[in-house]
Structure 1
Amino acid sequence: MDINIFVLCRSPRAKISKIKTITELTPASRVAAFSSRGLPEESIIKPDVIAPGVDILASWLPKDNTKRAFEFSSGTSMSTPQVAAIVAMLKTLHPTWSPAMIKSAIMTTASPLDNTGKPIKDYNGDVATHYAIGSGFINPRQAIEPGLVLDYTGNYENCIDDCNYPSIVVDLSGVVQKVVVNRTFTLVSFPPLPKDYLLYHFLKHDIPPELNVDALRYMSFDLEEGQRIVTTSITFSLHDTDQRIFGSLLWKCYAHPGYNVRIPFVVKT
C-alpha cells in the first residue's frame, strides 16, 4: 500500500492475506553464530547437545506499553527451557533414573546429522565439530527409550576423568601412543524378544584411517540371569598425524533397530 494514500484517506483499510506456515525447511538444523562453544584445550566435550534456539515463540513479560504475552526470540535462553522440559519428561517416565542417566539418554540419542542426512553445519557453512554441537541435536522421542545409559561412576571430584561420561576426550599429543578408556553401560530398555539376552554390536563410525579404535565387539546382556550392567574397554592408538581427530563410537542393537547408542570422541594430537 502507498503510504501517501494511507495518510490522505479518511477511512483507510488494509487486507491481510492468508497466513502460511512453512515447515520442513532444509537443511536444518544449523548452528547459530551465538551458540555456546566448548574449549578445545579442555578434557571434556562441551556443549553436551544442541537444541532449537532461533526465532522461538515464547511467553513474555509485558514491559513498557507492550501488552503482548508472546514474543519471538533467539538465544541459548530459548534452547535451555526445551532441554529442561525433556529432562522433566524423562524423570516422569523413568522416576528411578539418576540425573546422569537422564543426561546420558539425551546425549547418546542426539543426532549429528541434519534433516537431509548430512553432518550439521556451523553458521559459516563448515561442518560443525563436537565443540559446536556436542553429541548432536536433541531427539526427545528417542531419549524416552535409549536402550543403554551411562550412569556416573567413580569420584565426582575426578568427574572428567572418572565419571563414565557419555563423551570421550583422549590426549595422544605427547609420547603416549595408546590410551585405554572404560565405559559402563546399563540396560534400561527391554523390548520383547524370543531370546533371553540382548546383543549390542560395536561399530566404528566416522573414524579416520590414522586412528585405530578397538573395543569389545559385542556387549551381551543376559536377561534371564538379571545381567543389566556391562563395562567395556575402548583402546585408542594413533599413527602419524598432527590433526585433531573427531569421531564417534556406535553400539547398535540389531534385534531392535531403534536402539542406537552413540558416544562422540575427540583425540588430541
Structure 2
Amino acid sequence: MYKVCADNECDESAILAGLDAATKDGVDVLSISLGANTPTSFDQDPMTIGAFGAVSKGVVVVCSAGNNGPTPASITNDAPWVLTVAAGTVDRSFGAEVRLGNGKSIHGEALTQKAKTRSKLYPLLFSDARPFCEFDITSVAGKIIVCEATVEDVQKSEVYGLINAGAAGVVLFNDDISGYTTLLWDYNSTMVQVTAADGAILKSYAASSETGALAAFNYNNTLLGIRPAPVVSWFSSRGPSIIIPGVLKPDILAPGLNILAAWPPKTDYASGPFNIMSGTSMATPHISGVAALLKSIHPSWSPAAIKSAILTTSDMVNSTGGSILDQHHTKASVYDTGAGHVNVTRAADPGLVYDLGITDYAGYICWLLGKDGLATIVRNSSLTCTTLPKIEDVHLNYPTITVPMTSKPFTVNRTVTNVGPAKSTYTAKVDAPKSLVVRVFPETLTFSKPGEKKTFSVTVSSRIGKELFFEGSLRWVSERHVVRSPIVVAAAAAGRSLVKNIT
C-alpha cells in the first residue's frame, strides 16, 4: 500500500512517486481509486502518466471510473492502457419493510437491523414544505418521519435530531436521480431507506389517508438472491470518453454499491470493525483481484491480454436473464456498463485475447498529442513520433470495437491471439440492430498452435439519423469458448458531440 494523499489532498508529485515506487517494488497489479474530477488531457494527468510507466513494466493498472454519474461523458481514468471500472449492485439486501396502515408493505433496506421483528403502528408524517428532515423537533415525538435523502453528513445530524426528539423512526427515500439503487448509510438508529418510486407511494399515502396515515417497521435481516442484479449504480460515471471517443469507456462493470468490508477502528466516521461504502472505488478492487488471479494463472500475459480476458468474457445479462439495467430500471447502455459485468470464472479461460504493446500506445499518443505529448507521457527517448506509425483510437487493437457513425462502410482491423486449445476453429456471430450493416472477414478463424495470431476486419455502415450511437456485438464462437466484443457505432467518434444529448 502506497500513501499518496493526506488531509483530503493528493499532490501530483506524490501520486507519481507512489506509482514509480510500486513499479520498482515489482507489484503485478495496481488498484487505484483516485482520479480527476473532470476529464483531463492525458499529458496533464499524473495518474495517466504514471500508469503508462507502470504498464510499460508489465503492471496491470486498474482505476475507478469516477462517481460523477449519471452525467454523460463524466468518465475519468479513461486512457486505453488503464482498466477502467464502473460500479453496479450485488444481489444482497439488508431487508426491511415499511408496513402501512392500509395493509400494504413497502420493501426497503436498513443497515441497522433491530431485534424486534414487528412493532405497533405509528403516525406517518411527511411535509412537502419540509421534505428533507428539517422538521420542528417539537412535532415529531411518537411519529415515523418520511423525508428525501440528501448529503449523508448533513442528513445524519438531522436524523439523529429527530430520533433524539422522540421520533419513532425515519424513512429516507431516494431522489429521482438515484432511482432504484439505494446507497445505504450507517445511522445505527431506527431508519429504513427506500427507492424513489416507493418514496412517492409513501408521500401519496401520507397525504391521502382520511383516518390518518400509520406505519411500522419490520426487519428481515440479510437477504440474498435479490433480482435484478447487477444494476448500474446511479453515481457511476458514464461514457463516452471526451478524450478518447474511439475507445469504449468504462471498460467493465463490477460490484460497487453497499460493499461491506473490514474497517480500521476509530478512523474517519466509522467505529469499526466493519463499514459499508459505495463508489467506483469499491468496484475497482474487485477487478484488481480478478487481474491478480489471471496474472497468477498466466504470468506471461501482458496487461492488455489480462484486460482483454476480463472484457471479452463478461456478462451482458442480469440474474433474470434480461439486459443489465440502469438506476431507473431501463436498459443500461454500453456507456454505463462497458463490455459488461465481470465473470471471474470465464475470464480465467478466454480462448482468444486482443493484445497491445507499448509501441501501440505510443503510436496512439503520437496521433493524439504529437511528439510533445509522447515525451511527457512515455519518457522513453527510443520511441519517437518520426519512427512510430500514428494509430487512431478506433484502430487500436482493443477488445471492444468503436467506429464512427457513417453511411459509408468503415473498416477496422483486429488481431487475436490463441490462448486456448492448440487446435481450434472460431466462427463469427454478429448481433446488430437493423440500423447497422456489419460484415466480418474472414468469418472463420482456424488456429493450429498456442500463441498463433489471426487478423480479421470488421466493416460497419449505419443509418444516419437522430441517434447518437448504436450497439451491437461480435462473438467468436468455438466448441469451448465465446469471445465477445461490443460494437459501438458512435456519433462522437465521427466528430458529433454526445456530451449534451446522450441519455
TM-score normalised according to structure 1 size? 0.83
Displacement of 1:169 after TM fit?
1.4
Does structure 1 residue 133 correspond to structure 2 residue 133?
no
Once the two structures are superposed, the pairs formed by residues 18-167 of structure 1 within 5 Å of their partners are 21-39=222-240, 42-62=245-265, 63=267, 67-152=271-356, 155-157=360-362, 158=364, 160-167=393-400
How far off its partner does 1:164 sit?
0.4
Among residues 169, 176, 200, which one is paired with 2:426 in the alignment? Answer: 200
Match of 1:210?
435
Compute the displacement of 1:214 (Å): 0.7
Distance in 2, matches of 1:248 and 1:118, equals 16
- Offset at 1:22? 1.9
Greater relative CO (CA pairs within 8 A, separation 6+):
1
Instruction: Name structure 2 gaps, 5 residues minimum.
Output: 1-115, 120-140, 143-218, 365-390, 492-503
Q: AA paired with 1:221?
A: F
Paired residues in the alignment total 244
**Mapped pair 1:261 → 2:483:** yes
Shift of 1:116: 1.0
- TM-aligned CA distance change 1:19 to 1:240, over 3 Å: closer
Q: Which moved more, 1:59-68 or 1:21-30?
A: 59-68
Q: Distance in 2 between matches of 1:262 and 1:33?
A: 26
Distance 1:186 1:177 in 2: 30
Percent identical residues? 37
Instruction: Indicate how the Cα distance of structure 1 residues 151 and 67 shifts in structure 2: closer, same or farther if over 3 A, else same.
Output: same
| The one of 248, 252, 260 aligned to 2:473 | 248
439, 458, 463: which one aligns with 1:234: 458
CA RMSD, 1 decimal: 2.5
Q: Please state whether the residue corresponding to 2:414 is helix, strand or coil.
A: strand
CA 1:125–1:65: 2 relative to 1, 3 Å: closer
Asked whether the equivalents of residues 394 and 401 of structure 2 are also in contact (C-alpha less than 8 Å), the reply is no
**Pick aligned residue for 2:408 from 177, 190, 207:** 177
Q: Deviations over 1:201-258 (max 9, x none)?
A: 11012x11121111121111123xx6711110111122454422111111111x22xx
Contact 2:417/2:451, CA 8 A, preserved across alignment? no
Contact 1:210 1:241 in 2 (8 A): no
Checking the alignment, whether the CA contact within 8 Å between 2:263 and 2:272 is kept in structure 1 is yes
1:58 positional shift:
1.5
Answer with 116-125 or 60-69: which moved more: 60-69
1:186, CA displacement in angstroms? 0.6
**Displacement, 1:25?**
1.4
Does the Cα contact within 8 Å between 1:172 and 1:178 map onto a contact in 2? no
SS in 2 for 1:262: strand
Please state how far the C-alpha of 1:165 moved relative to its aligned partner.
Answer: 0.5
Task: Please tell me whether the aligned partners of residues 31 and 133 of structure 1 are also in contact (alpha carbons under 8 angstroms).
Answer: yes
Letter in 1 for 2:236: S
Match of 1:14 in 2: none
Paired letter, 2:229: A
Query: Partner of 1:22: helix, strand, or coil?
Result: strand
Checking the alignment, whether the CA contact within 8 Å between 1:155 and 1:162 is kept in structure 2 is no
Quick one: which amino acid aligns to residue 166 of structure 1? P
- For residues 137 and 51 of structure 1, what CA distance do their matches in structure 2 show? 6
Instruction: Provide TM-score, normalisation by structure 2.
Output: 0.46
Query: Matches of 1:163 and 1:238 in 2, distance apart?
Result: 21
CA positional deviation for 1:67:
4.0
* Contact persistence 2:405–2:464 (CA under 8 A): no
One-letter amino acid of the structure 1 residue matched with residue 352 of structure 2: L
Structure with higher Rg: it is 2
Q: Are the structure 2 counterparts of residues 64 and 147 from structure 1 closer, same or farther at C-alpha, using a change threshold of 3 Å?
A: closer
What's 1:13 paired with?
none
Measure the CA separation in 2 of the matches of 1:49 and 1:227: 25
Flag as ranges the 4+ runs of structure 1 deviating above 6 A: 1-4
State the secondary structure of the residue aligned to 1:50.
strand
User: 1:65, CA displacement in angstroms?
Assistant: 8.5
CA distance in 2, matches of 1:199, 1:112: 24
Q: Does structure 1 conserve the Cα–Cα contact (< 8 Å) formed by 2:394 and 2:412?
A: no
AA of the residue aligned to 2:458: I
Deviation of 1:189 (Å): 1.6
Report SS of the residue matched to 1:51.
strand
Instruction: Return the alpha-carbon distance in structure 1 between the equivalents of residues 464 and 239 of structure 2.
Output: 26
Return closer, same or farther for 1:120/1:86 CA change in 2, 3 Å cut-off. Answer: same
* Mapped contact 2:394–2:403 kept (Cα < 8 A): no
Distance in 2 of aligned mates of 1:197 and 1:95: 22
| Equivalent pair of 1:211/1:236 in contact (CA under 8 Å) | yes
With over 3 angstroms needed to count, the CA separation of the structure-2 counterparts of 1:116 and 1:171, relative to structure 1, is same
Find the counterpart in structure 2 of residue 168 from structure 1.
401
Q: Deviations over 1:134-185 (max 9, x none)?
A: 0000001110000110001562131623430111111134xx6111111101
- SS of 1:78 mapped into structure 2: helix
What residue identity is the alignment partner of 2:410? V
